[in-house]
Every structure is written in C-alpha cells, then in structure tokens.
Amino acid sequence: MASPIEQFQIKPLIPVINFTNSSAFMIGAAAVIVGGLLYATRNRAVVPGRAQSVAEVLHDFVANTLVDATGKEGMKFFPLVFSLFMFVLTANLLGMIPGFFTVTSHIIVTFALAMLVIGTVVIYGFVKHGTHFLGLFVPSGVPAWLLPFIVVIELISFLSRPISLSLRLFANMLAGHIALKVFAGFVVSLLAAGGALTILAPLPLLMAVALMALEFLVAALQAYVFTVLTCIYLNDALHPGH
C-alpha cells in the first residue's frame, strides 16, 4: 500500500520544460473549463438547454457574489473572479476522481492564486486611490492614542490575508485527500490481515464513501469561500474607506 501523501507527488513528464503531472492537470482544468463552457453555449439559445443552464447558473452565481460584495463597479473584475472560481472549482473536482492529481493541494499554487488576488487589490487600490488607499489601515473615529495599535493590527490582518486565503484552500484539499486515502488504506489492510479483522473491512469503506461525499462538498465550498473572500478583498480596493 502506498503512502497517503504519495498522491501529492510531483512527477516530471517532460523535464526539459519542467512539465509535470501538476502542469498537465492545470492545463486539463483550463481545457475542461473553456471547452465545457464553449460547448454549453454553442447554440446561444434563448431558451437554454441543460448544459447552457449550468453555464448561466455559474455565470450568474459568480456575478451575484461579486456584485453583492463590491457593487456594480466591481464587475470590471468579473473575468478575474470568474476565472479564479472556475479554476479552483474545476481543479478541486478533478482531484476527486481517483488517481487524479489535485492541483490545489499544493501550497505554492494556492499561495500564487492568493497573491494574484492581493496583488490586484494593492495595485488597483494604489492606481485608483493613490495614498488614499492607505486609509484602509486607518479606521475613522478611533482615538488618537489608540491609532498606532489599530494601524498595526490592520496591517497584520491585511498581510495575513494571502496566507489565510491560500492555507485554507490548501489545507482543506490536502487533509481531505489524506483522510480519504487513509480510510481507503484501512480497507486494504484489514482485508489483508485476514481472520476477524477482514470482517471489519466494510467499516472503513463506509467511512471512505461518506468522506467522498464530504470531500465533494468541501471541493465546491472551498472554491466558493475563495471566491467570496476574493470579492471582499476586491471591495477594499474599490472602496478603501472603512
């Protein structure tokens, strides 16, 4: 039986260009997204079919999340937020297929995506509002003697955003896949142990089935959480006043 962390191993496929299984699944996720959405909207039907309904629901869902958090002017970030949501969701769900690599179970990937969000917030904030963007760290109506502490706290909370954003997704995907693998491994171990232990083998199997359902929920939920937080952070770039 393989180690539960073997599934996270990066295996080079074309070493010359650093192309690995991770790269393949990233491209796979992008291909599934673009191909799926183009296929779904191929008829441009006024009365949508099943596939087009799904595409429209995804579009409206992300658009509503963004508008709820940032207002109408946030729609300029819609392609970015939609790309992030679709990429994370698809990578998470692709990872649920047995034997498939989970792109988002690597901290460097989730951290890069989080830095993309925070980088967008910081650059857009400064370009749009100049030094006024720094008002984000100075809440109004705070007594002067308290201000230094508040600014430090706000600064720390801002800097911890990319870390919490990336760690949340990474840890959820990693832990879920490890737990699945461990329980699946128990089934094999118990079967191999023979005797009375073999009879117990279905118990971890049931657990693995339940975990599988839970992991599907987590895969979708974490994509949503990542998107909602992205929208909330983008709102700071659009409206820096507390």
| Closest to another protein by CB, 51 or 138 | 51
| Residue 85: DSSP 8-state | H
Candidate list 66, 70, 74, 86; residue touching another protein; CB under 8 A: 86
Candidate list 65, 70, 92, 105; residue touching another protein; CB under 8 A: 105
Q: Are 62 and 82 in contact (CB under 8 A)?
A: yes
Q: State yes or no: residue 150 binds another protein (CB under 8 A).
A: no
Q: State yes or no: residue 34 binds another protein (CB under 8 A).
A: yes
Q: Are 59 and 82 in contact (CB under 8 A)?
A: yes
Instruction: Look at phi and psi of residue 195 and say left if phi exceeds 0, alpha if psi is from -120 to 50, else beta.
Output: left
Q: State yes or no: residue 51 binds another protein (CB under 8 A).
A: no
Q: State yes or no: residue 89 binds another protein (CB under 8 A).
A: no
Q: State yes or no: residue 172 binds another protein (CB under 8 A).
A: no
Q: How far apart are CA 137 and CA 46, in angstroms?
A: 47
Find where tokens 């809440």 sit: 139
Q: State yes or no: residue 170 binds another protein (CB under 8 A).
A: yes
Q: In 3D, which of 175, 182, 189 has the Cα closest to residue 219?
A: 175
Q: In the complex, what is the shortest distance from the CB of residue 26 to another protein, in angstroms, rounded to a whole number?
A: 4
Q: How far apart are CA 203 and CA 125, in angstroms?
A: 53
Candidate list 69, 82, 94, 238; residue touching another protein; CB under 8 A: 82
Candidate list 96, 122, 179, 220; residue touching another protein; CB under 8 A: 179
Find where tokens 């117990």 sit: 200
Beta-carbon contacts of 169 under 8 Å, excluding residues fewer than 6 positions away, are: 88, 104, 110, 113, 222, 225, 226
| Closest to another protein by CB, 56 or 68 | 56
| Closest to another protein by CB, 135 or 185 | 185
Which of these ranges, 64-72, 126-134, 155-163, 176-184, lies near another protein under the rule CB under 8 A? 176-184
Beta-carbon contacts of 174 under 8 Å, excluding residues fewer than 6 positions away, are: 8, 105
Residues listed for the chain: 242
Q: State yes or no: residue 164 binds another protein (CB under 8 A).
A: no
What is the binding site for another protein (CB under 8 A)? 1-6, 8-10, 18-20, 22-23, 26-27, 29-30, 33-34, 37-38, 41, 44-46, 48, 52, 55-56, 59-60, 78-80, 82-83, 86-87, 103, 105-109, 112-113, 116, 170, 174, 178-179, 182, 185-186, 189
